[in-house]
Amino acid sequence: MTDEELKEKEYIEFIEDSIKPKGTTRIILHENKGFIEIFEDLRWKLLRRLTTEEIEQIGKIK
């Protein structure tokens, strides 16, 4: 495998693994709702809800 293929494989494995490193952050969006979670103590904890403006800005990212 090339270095690029190895990096892609590692990235996919990280996404698919249910256990994340402490401090991993994720953003969840659904329709007009959104929130930020952080992985701590072997589970996801709600950090905060996203504002309407933040959801709109994230929606513009392609």
Domain locations along the chain: 22-62
Dihedral sign of CA atoms 18, 57, 29, 51 in order: positive
Q: Which two tokens stand for residue 14?
A: 């990280």
pLDDT band at 54 (very low <50, low <70, confident <90, very high): very high
Model confidence at 62: pLDDT above 80: no
Q: Which two tokens stand for residue 20?
A: 């994340």
The pTM score is: 0.71
DSSP state for residue 20 in the 8-state scheme = -
What's the pLDDT tens digit per position in 29-53? 998 899 999 999 989 999 999 999 9
Alpha carbon distances (Å) from 20 to 26, 27, 28, 41: 11, 14, 16, 10
